[in-house]
């Protein structure tokens, strides 16, 4: 059974710090990985995707993928209170139906 695991949190960080969100996956056939941000009462919003081993940076966000360790992470630099949300990790292989983790709640406090 394909699984994507995330710590439910909450992860609490002070404003300006780096928030590190982690995700592990069980399906070695997974090729594409995605991070979604979901504010309370809203629908998920795609913020990052990564296909290749290594790091991918986009503004304050860096996604990291290590296929050997089956590990994906999202780093948020200079965290802001507006980053407070639930972050969903998802992985997809040949079926094109992503498997979602249950999400990590992030709280950035002033």
Partner 1 sequence: GAGVSQSPSNKVTEKGKDVELRCDPISGHTALYWYRQSLGQGLEFLIYFQGNSAPDKSGLPSDRFSAERTGGSVSTLTIQRTQQEDSAVYLCASSLGPGLAGVEQYFGPGTRLTVT
Contacting residue, 23, 25, 34, 83, with partner 1 by CB under 8 A: 34
Distance CA 103, CA 106 (A): 9
Closest CA relative to residue 37, chosen from 63, 1, 13, 16:
63
Among 18-26, 54-62, 70-78, 94-102, which window interacts with partner 1 (CB under 8 A)?
94-102
Contacting residue, 1, 43, 69, 82, with partner 1 by CB under 8 A: 43
Among 16-24, 60-68, 71-79, 93-101, which window interacts with partner 1 (CB under 8 A)?
93-101
Contact status: 88 vs partner 1 (CB under 8 A): yes
**Containing H/E element for 35?**
strand 32-38
- Tokens 């991070």 — which residue? 35
Residue 90 C-beta: closest distance to partner 1, Å: 8
Question: Please, are residues 98 and 82 in contact by the beta-carbon 8 Å criterion?
Answer: no
């Amino acid at each position: 059974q394909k699984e994507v695991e995330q710590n439910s949190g909450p992860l609490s960080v002070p404003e300006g710090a780096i928030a590190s969100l982690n995700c592990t996956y069980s399906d070695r056939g997974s090729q594409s990985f995605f991070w979604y941000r979901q504010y309370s009462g809203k629908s998920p919003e795609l913020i990052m995707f990564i296909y290749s081993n290594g790091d991918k940076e986009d503004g304050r966000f860096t996604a990291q993928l290590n296929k050997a360790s089956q590990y994906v992470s999202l780093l948020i630099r200079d965290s802001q209170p507006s980053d407070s949300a639930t972050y969903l990790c998802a992985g997809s292989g040949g079926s094109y139906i992503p498997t979602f983790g249950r999400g990590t709640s992030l709280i950035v406090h002033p």
